[in-house]
Amino acid sequence: MLQPLFLKPVFKARIWGGTALQNEFGYDIPTRNTGECWAISAHPNGPSIIENGPFAGMTLDKLWREHPELFGNSGEEVFPLLTKILDANMDLSVQVHPDDSYAMVNESGELGKTECWYIIDCKEDADMIFGHNAGSKEELVEQINEGKWNELLRRVKIKPGDFFYVPSGTIHALCEGTLVLETQQSSDTTYRVYDYDRRDAEGNLRDLHLEKAIEVTTVPHKDTVSIPAIQQLENARITTFVKSEFFSVYKWDVSGKSTFSFNDQYLLLSVIKGEGSLFHDGEHYEMKKGTHLIIPVGFGEFEVDGDCELIVSHT
Other beta carbons within 10 angstroms of residue 61's beta carbon come to 17
Active-site residue among 32, 155, 192, 237?
192
User: In degrees rounded to 5, what are phi and psi of residue 101?
Assistant: -65, -40
- CB of 261 closer than 8 Å to CB of 300: yes
Q: List CB contacts of 311: < 8 A, sequence separation 6 or more.
A: 83, 118, 181, 183, 249, 250, 251, 269, 270, 272
Q: What is the DSSP letter of 207?
A: P
198 is catalytic: no
Secondary structure class of 124 (helix, strand, coil):
coil
Contacts 24+ apart (CB under 8 A), 131-139: 131/156, 131/170, 131/171, 131/172, 131/221, 131/223, 132/171, 132/217, 132/219, 132/221, 133/221, 134/219, 134/220, 134/221, 135/219, 135/220, 136/219, 136/220, 137/214, 137/219
- CB of 240 closer than 8 Å to CB of 309: no
Catalytic residues, which ones?
192
